Each structure stands twice: as C-alpha cells, then as structure tokens.
Amino acid sequence: MPTWGEYWYYLQWDSFPALWTTILRFLAVDADEFYRLLGFAVGISTLGLVWIGCHRLTKCHPVFTVAVVGCGFNAIYIGDSIRAYGLGMLFACAVILAMAAYVRHPSRAGLTVVFVSALLALHSLYFDFVPVVGALVAAVAVLLWCRQNPVPLAATVGVALATLGVYRPVLARGESFSSLFRYNPFDPAQYLEGVVRTIGIAGTAGGALFWSAAALAVGVAIRTAWRGRSRAVEAPTARLALLCSGALVFIVPGYFGFLRHLSVNAGPRHFLVLIASVCLLSELAIRSVHRGVKVRAGWATLALVCVGIMIGDGRMGGFPRMSNVRDVAAVLGKSAGPADVILVYPWHYGISLRRYLKPSLSFQTLPEIADQRTHRYDLAKAAMIGPDQQAPAQKAAAFAQKALAAGAVVWFVGPRHAANAGEPPPDISPAPDPKYGWNETNYYAAYAQGFWTFIAEHASEVELVLKPSTGTNPQENMPVFRIRGWRG
C-alpha cells in the first residue's frame, strides 16, 4: 500500500486536493462494490443535507434543487463515481447553507459550522473555491447592510482559505505539464450551454428554464433591497434572500472566470458544483420571502418539468459502465502467455488495466509511460516534445517485432488506426505542433498509426478478439486485437 508521503507526492498529477484521497487511503478497501456504495452514500448525503438545511432555513422543501441534483444524469453518473466531484457538490452546498444560517442568526456556533464546512469544501475540490468566496462576499455585504460586524465571518473563512497554501508546491510542479490541457479558447456561450447539457435539459427551452430561475432569484433580492433598510430588510428571511442572490451574482461569472483561467476542455464534471450552487441559491432566495401555496405549487411544477425533460433526454433509462477493463483483463488473463507482449493505447487506459490484470502479466503503453499508478502527464509531455516523434511508435514496434519473431503473440488493447503496408507514418513535429499545438490526442493517434503501419507491413495475422461493448463509456471502451506471425 502506498505511504502517506507517496499519496501527497502524487497529488501533483491529480485533479483534486487531499481530502478525497485521504478518505480513500484511510478506507483502503479492495472491492469495487464498496466504492459504488461509497459514491451512492455521497449522493444521498447531498440530497439529505439540502433537504434538511433548506427546510430549517425556509420551512419549505427544496423540490427544485433535489429534482435537478438528484435526477440529473451527470449528477448521478459522475457525482456518485469514485472521483471527488460528488464530495465537492456536498460540501459546496454545506458552505452555502452554513453561511445562510449564520447571516440569519450570527453566533459562535454558526462560525464553527462555517469554518468546518468551508475547510472541507476547499480540500475536496478546487472548484469549491468559487462558491466559498462568492458566499463570503455576499454574506459580508449583507452584514454591512444590516449594520453588523462582518469581521468574525471574514476572518474565519479567511483562515480556511489560507489552508489552500499547502498546495502551492503541488500546483507549481503541475505547471510543468499543464500546457497539455490549455488549448481550448474561452467561449462563454459554450459554457452556458455546457451547464444545461450537464443537467440534461439542453436546448433553448432547457437553457431558458434553468437560467430564468437564477434570474428570478436575483430579481427577488433586488425588489427586497429596494424597500430600504427597514425592519423588512433586516428580518432574517430578507437577509437570506439578499445573501443568496448576491452569491448568485458573484458565483456564476466567477465560476466561468475560473474555467477561463484554467483554459480546460470543460466537460460535465466541471459544471456540477456550479449547477448545485445555482439551484440551491435560487430556491433559497425565492422561498425565503415567498412561501405561499402558489409559490410552492410553482416550484413543484418547475421540478416536475425538469424531471420530465431529464427523463426525456433518454439517458436515464440506463447508466453506461465506466469501463470495459474487466472484460479486457479477463480476455488477457485467459489467453495471453508470459512471453506475449501487451500494448495499451491510449496510455491512460493502463491505469485501470493495472488494477485488474493478473500479476503474472505485464504491459507497455503507447507512448511508453513507465509509471501507471496515476496520470503521469509529465511523462506524456516528455514523449510529445521529444526531437524524434517517430520514436514512440518505433519503440512499440520493436517490442512487437521481438515477440512476433520469437513466435509469441502481441495483444493490442485500444482502437486500430487505419494503415496500409508501406504507408509512411503521419508527419507531426515536437509539441507544440504548428497545426495541432499541445492537443495530446493527435500525438497519440500519430503514434498509434505509426505502429499499425508497421504491423500492416510485417505481421501475418490481425484478429479482433474483443469488440467494444455497448452501453459503456466510450473513453474506456477498448477493443483487443491479437497479432500473430512475422513476415520479416
């Protein structure tokens, strides 16, 4: 089992702070079923926290938030997985609820809850930095508006934020290979559409439905503040409305600004915290000042519409498997011999395969990544900037040649790139390539095509022994090819 020092060292290649890794290291259970239950428990805890917290603050049930977070395809598929995105959603909601409770009734006990929830959120997911800071800014503004001292709250959250400094060396080391991810231009429209696609209500109607709820919440707060600094404004419910609406105004552009700073290829996993925060803040803002039967019926109708749209999305009928790695490991374990060569492409699939492949078998990746315990993008970058971009394919071809010439079998795990005998491999220059820049996918494809060009010329037989399965995540749904015979 890896030591704590090794876990900390390997954080530079992970996408998360230390909390989730610490939890997994502490549990250390070698059973997939346990981690499925753990992910399910995180998801259920999020719904339970939102339900109880909202009811205590507004005496209303958060049907809209529970519908979107509890029934959304990606919120379940990604949020309940072994990654830390679900934990980040849980503690982002906890921070919002804790600050809302403190603003309504400031107390030392409330400060303690705010500190603990902020600390857990910040060390669960880097994206939680935005809702923590957004809720803090809004809370300080509301306290000043109501002539109350915001220093205790600001100092408490400031201490929690300061603890992120422990990751400065980790993030600094990660900068050496961050160029592999920073090749997508910032497109606000794409991010807005990405949010509603993540929920499963994509399209004009879905986008209008989601963002209208957020805009309505902001409008409620503006209307409340317009009444002036009267008893109505200083009432706990009005403070709650102002806090939530102010946090919305900060968090949405702040979150997109955070994504712009990262310049990542934003996918559904990157929007989960934003979606949970927007839903929760919107519902709290409106229902804190409007609790009538009509408002409750309206929110219930909105929740039902969202659920209907998400079910109509077609993906709720069945969740795809995360990977077909068990099938691949079973085929190799049954058919591969100790003298055979196993090549894995793309290289990061080897991280999953390493867990399930029987110990008597080993494999090489394309490009060759010596350490398969985590995503070693620094080694992948080293291959991409090498002076000879044919070297990764040539090295894989050399492994194959040695095995085939000795009468052994080469097992290739990954897609087959079309190549003809005698066809020259694609021309690609050391990164950043003038055409492809730092886009790693094009480099890996060039290496694979160079390898298959060699196989087309020298191997006698190529047989597909395992097809990609239906209903499996396409990023880890790999075929297996058996390559035999040497033609010289």
- Nearest Cα residue to 42 out of 95, 85, 99: 85
Q: What are phi and psi of 32, to 5 degrees?
A: -60, -35
Residue where a domain stops, chosen among 254, 277, 312: 312
Average pLDDT over every residue of 416-427: 66
Residue 51 lies in a domain: yes
pLDDT at 481 over 80: yes
- Whether 370 has a pLDDT exceeding 70, the answer reads yes
Selected residue with higher pLDDT from 472 and 204: 472
Say if residue 220 is in the same domain as residue 149.
yes
Residue 126 covered by a domain = yes
pLDDT for res 41: 93
Residue 257 has pLDDT above 70, yes or no: yes
Residue 295 pLDDT: 63
pLDDT of 228 above 50: no
* Host H or E run for residue 391: helix 391-405
Instruction: Examine the pLDDT at 73 and tell me if it is beyond 70.
Output: yes
Residue 151 CB-density burial (10 A; 0-12 exposed, 13-18 middle, 19+ buried): exposed
Same-domain status, 287 and 350:
no
Claim to verify: residue 345 and residue 275 sit in the same structural domain: no
- With 0-12 / 13-18 / 19 or more C-beta atoms within 10 angstroms meaning exposed / middle / buried, residue 478 is buried
DSSP string, 414-470: SPPPP--TTPPPPP-PSSSBTTTBT-HHHHHHHHHHHHHHHHHHHEEEEEEEEPPPT
Model confidence at 333: pLDDT above 50: yes
In a domain, 241, yes or no: yes
Query: Where does a domain end: 284, 312, 340?
Result: 312
* 404 has pLDDT over 80: yes
Residues 290 and 332 grouped into a single domain: no
Q: What is the pLDDT of residue 288?
A: 75
275 and 354 in one domain? no
One domain, residues 247 and 273 = yes
- Do 292 and 420 fall into the same domain? no
Long-range CB contacts for residues 19-28, cutoff 8 Å, separation at least 24? 19/84, 19/87, 19/120, 19/123, 19/124, 20/83, 20/84, 20/87, 20/124, 23/87, 24/82, 28/1
The predicted structure's pLDDT at residue 92: 96
The CA distance from 200 to 188, in Å, is 19
For residue 2, what pLDDT is reported? Answer: 65
SS3 for 16?
Answer: coil
Type of residue numbered 474 = P
Max mean pLDDT range (88-92, 235-239, 292-296, 309-313): 88-92
Q: Which carries the bigger pLDDT value, residue 28 or residue 95?
A: 95
Q: How far apart are CA 11 and CA 212, in angstroms?
A: 39
Higher per-residue confidence, 446 vs 213: 446
Selected residue with higher pLDDT from 96 and 192 = 96
Predicted local confidence at residue 209, as pLDDT: 63
Helix (H, G, I), strand (E, B) or coil at 485: strand
Same domain for 242 and 341, yes or no, is: no
Looking at residue 76, its pLDDT comes to 82
Mean pLDDT value across the chain: 84
SS3 content of the chain, % helix, strand, coil (to 5): 65, 5, 30
State pLDDT tens for residues 78-99.
Answer: 888 888 999 999 999 999 999 9
Whether 140 is covered by a domain: the verdict is: yes
Residue 318 lies in a domain: no
Q: What is the mean pLDDT of residues 130-150?
A: 92
* Mean pLDDT to the nearest integer, 461-471: 90
Q: Which pLDDT score is estimated for 17?
A: 93
Closest CA to 100 of 227, 272, 282: 282
Q: Any idea what DSSP says for residue 411?
A: E
Q: Does the residue 465 lie in any domain? A: yes
Q: Which of 58, 61, 67, 123 lies closest to 90, judged by CA? A: 123
Give how many domains the chain has, as a whole number: 2
* Lowest mean pLDDT, pick from 247-261, 298-312, 342-356: 298-312
Q: Residues 93-106: what's their mean pLDDT? A: 94
Instruction: Determine the residue type at 291.
Output: R
Question: In terms of domains, do 334 and 268 share one?
Answer: no
Q: What are phi and psi of 187, to 5 degrees?
A: -135, 100
Q: How far is CA 24 from the centre of its chain?
A: 17
182 confidence band (pLDDT: 50, 70, 90): low
**pLDDT value for 68:** 81
| Residues whose CB falls within 8 Å of the CB of residue 123, separated by 6 or more in sequence, listed in order | 17, 18, 19, 163
Q: Which of 270, 287, 312 is the last residue of a domain?
A: 312
114 located within any domain: yes
Indicate the range of 185-194, 329-338, 423-432 predicted with least confidence. Answer: 185-194
- Using CA atoms, how far apart are residues 73 and 359, in angstroms rounded to an integer? 36
pLDDT in tens, 384-398: 999 999 999 999 999
| Same domain, yes or no: 147 and 51 | yes
431: pLDDT confidence band, cut at 50, 70 and 90?
confident
> Is there a single domain that holds both residue 334 and residue 303?
no
Q: Are residues 92 and 173 in the same domain?
A: yes
Residues 11-31 as b or e (16 or more Cβ within 10 Å = b): bbbbbbbbbbbeeeeeeeeee
Q: Is the pLDDT of residue 250 over 80?
A: yes
Question: What value does the mean pLDDT take over residues 288-298?
Answer: 68
Do 127 and 258 contact (CB within 8 A), yes or no? yes
Residue 481 placed within a domain? yes
Check pLDDT > 90 for residue 223. Answer: no
Asked if pLDDT for residue 311 goes beyond 70, the answer is: no
| Greater model confidence, 184 or 149 | 149
Domain coverage including residue 424: 325-486
Q: How confident is the model at residue 31 (pLDDT cuts 50, 70, 90)?
A: confident
Residue 256: which pLDDT band, with cuts at 50, 70 and 90? Answer: confident
Q: Residue 425: is its pLDDT beyond 70?
A: no
